[in-house]
Amino acid sequence: MGRLQLAFGLALALLVAISGRYFLVNQVPLPKKRGTVGVVVTREELDRDDSLVAFMAARSLLGVREGEKERGTIVKLYAELGPLTVFVFHNDIDNPFPQASAIVPIGGPFAFQGPGSGKTGAGVRFRASF
């Protein structure tokens, strides 16, 4: 394996930009055909001017205003080893109006407090053939 492949396979990097979405995918084969490791990075920028935002902005509810964007980045690292896939991920969402999206409560003892919309996790997947 060349050093270029070990450096996250930069020669195989694929970058696609489609309407505010960016995807970066790198895969590196492991020695002796044991599997692959890779990383997937997804970046999105979404327009938040939907009917709910327009309704709330027109009535000055919860500080909502039009023209804001929701931005999200997801990073996933994985290893495929035969029928087993192991992965870890981090999902970072910047939502300008988490209260309008029901991410944080707007009433009760924890009103306008919340864990945010970032998530980190891990998983294991088994692939079976019948």
* pLDDT tens per residue, range 40-73: 888 888 887 788 888 988 998 888 888 888 888 8
| pLDDT of 115 | 67
**What is the C-alpha to C-alpha distance for residues 116 and 103, in angstroms, rounded to an integer?**
7
DSSP reduced 3-state for 88: strand
What is the spatial distance between Cα 116 and Cα 128, in angstroms, rounded to a whole number? 36
DSSP state of 12: G
The whole-number pLDDT of residue 3 equals 44
23 — pLDDT class (breaks 50, 70, 90): low
Could you tell me the two tokens for 16? 């696609």
How many Å apart are CA 43 and CA 6, to the nearest integer? 24
Query: Could you give the percent of the chain with pLDDT greater than 70?
Result: 78
- Segment holding 56, helix H or strand E: helix 51-58
SS3 assignment, position 127 = coil
Determine the pLDDT at residue 116. Answer: 66
- When the pLDDT of each residue in the chain is averaged and rounded to a whole number, the result is 77
Residue whose tokens read 């919860």: 62
